[in-house]
Amino acid sequence: MSNLFTIEHARALDRDDPLGRFRQEFVINDPSMVYLDGNSLGRLPLRAAGHMEDAIRKQWGEDLIRSWNKQWYTQSARLGKKIAQIIGAEPHEVIVSDSTSVNLYKLAYGALRLQEGRTEIISDDMNFPSDLYIMQGLIKQLGGKHTLRLLNSPDGISTDMKELGSMLGNNTALLTLSHVAYKSSYLYDMERVSELAHQHGALVLWDLSHSVGAVPVNLNMAKVDLAVGCTYKYLNGGPGSPAFLYVKQELQERLENPIQGWFGEQNPFDFHLSYKESKGIRKFLAGTPPVISLSGLEPALEMILEAGMGAIRQKSVALSKYLLTLTQKYLMGEGVRVGSPDNADRRGSHISLKHAEAYRICKALNDPEVGDGVVIPDFREPNNIRLGLTPLYTSYEDIFRAVRQMKEIIGGELYENYSQIRDQVT
Ligand SMILES: Cc1ncc(COP(=O)(O)O)c(C=O)c1O
């Protein structure tokens, strides 16, 4: 075997990669660019581009309104069924609609209404801010009787299960957490946490945005009540592609949707003047779905199903171990710290590296003055360089080249040539 710390070694790992063939299924016009931001926006699958072209030119351009009956009306549920296979749910428990934030709002509202008499919502301080904003807004709208309590992470990397257990009690209405933390990549033990919540009579609502398509998820096995997640990260659905929601079968009838739009009505084309909710998961829809955006998602999901979550996870763990080995050798002496869990079992599919100059390092990686190409990670305040590993298209060579470039930028203090002023989107 070649020396671990050479590009030849990385290339040998790529040649042996059982998922290697999927890379050519994505649009990669600049092979010198290393893209490590699939945890924010997945690459464009070639098949998705073809489907979207068909949706625009044929379905919209030629078939026009007739497309609703041909394929558009059932699209949200059809895609939900595919996502259900990826997250271990029954086909009728998942539907695609709205954004993650809106879906979180709908399900959290339903959960709090079901849990009348209990007034506590528990989350953690590593959760995505939008999730916490939604809870804060709901508390206002429901008259201010609820409180949101956050489990504190001592190091910003992980949380303590025992402490979580001690926060739950018979006043806890809802426990809502991100399955994988957006900054540190900490991966909760979904089964254990859900069980803990249920022991106290609380409902559990997971945000799967950073885990769906990246780590195996089995909602039914973990006895999860409610979940939401986005489709533009590891599912490669495209910018702003709609999110999904999951409501376990037993809760579907009792859980109220606060946004009673016509797409959730039993017979929307009867145009009744008073709302009667649909049976089943459709009742959590609100209005007309963004059809064109949804059309790219279907082939993207099929690709994940073809590859299989087992193989995806295996490669994700191998990529992250490789990245950490190179980080240890080349970057730890340069003021870099690892901001993700050491244990691969407790880690999602991205790694955060911390450095006091993280922002300017990211700028230099994006717009290099040296080296052999652009490297795209993303930056998360205050000092995280976040490196997303998407097993369907991230190669070992990508990782080798990204670390080599970081070493050059940090070692030579080349970030000094870049501005500290934050871009609008980081
Ligand atoms: C964990 C998590 N939850 C929620 C959101 C918000 O998603 P949306 O913009 O679809 O509402 C994001 C966005 O990146 C996220 O990472």
Greatest alpha-carbon pair distance for the chain in Å reads 72
The predicted model gives 111-136 an average pLDDT of 98
Verify whether ligand 1 is closer than 6 Å to residue 218 (CB atom): no
Please give the distance, rounded to the nearest whole angstrom, from the Cα atom of residue 6 to the centre of ligand 1: 37
Judge whether residue 75 has pLDDT over 60. yes
What pLDDT score was predicted for residue 179?
98
C-alpha 200/C-alpha 118 separation (Å) is: 11
Structure tokens, 71: 């394929």
pLDDT for 369: 87
Q: What is the pLDDT of residue 370?
A: 81
Nearest atom in ligand 1 to the alpha carbon of residue 240 is 10
For 314, counting Cβ atoms within 10 Å of its Cβ (0-12 exposed, 13-18 middle, 19+ buried), the class is middle
Regarding the beta carbon of 128 and ligand 1, being less than 6 Å apart is answered yes
The pLDDT value recorded for residue 1 is 56
- In the structure, what pLDDT confidence band is assigned to residue 372 with cuts at 50, 70 and 90? confident
The radius of gyration of the chain's CA atoms, rounded to the nearest angstrom, is: 22
Q: What is the pLDDT of residues 157-203, one digit of tens each?
A: 999 999 999 999 999 999 999 999 999 999 999 999 999 999 999 99
Q: In what order do the strands lie in the sheet with 120-124?
A: 94-96, 244-247, 226-229, 203-207, 172-178, 120-124, 147-151
Which DSSP symbol is given to 243? -
Measured in angstroms, how far is the CA atom of residue 360 from the centroid of ligand 1? 25
Q: What is the mean pLDDT of residues 261-269?
A: 97
What's the average model confidence in pLDDT over 140-144? 97
The CA 100 to ligand 1 mean position distance, Å, reads: 6
This prediction's pTM: 0.97
Distance CA 279, CA 254 (A): 11
Mean pLDDT, residues 410-418: 94
CB of residue 178 inside a 6 A radius of ligand 1 = yes
Share of the chain above pLDDT 70, in %: 100
Q: What is the predicted pLDDT for the residue at 371?
A: 78
The Cα 119–Cα 306 span in angstroms is 44
Split at pLDDT 50, 70, 90, the class of 426 is confident
Residue 75 Rama label (left phi>0; alpha psi -120 to 50; beta): alpha
- Ligand 1 neighbour 130 (Cβ under 6 A): yes
Q: Taking residues 355-362, what's their average pLDDT?
A: 97
Residue ID of nearest Cα to ligand 1 atom 14: 40
How far apart are the CA of 108 and the centre of ligand 1, in A?
15
Average pLDDT over residues 311-322: 98
Nearest atom in ligand 1 to the alpha carbon of residue 180 is 1
213-264 per-position pLDDT tens digit: 999 999 999 999 999 999 999 999 999 999 999 999 999 999 999 999 999 9
> CA dihedral in degrees (252, 254, 258, 263; nearest 10)?
40
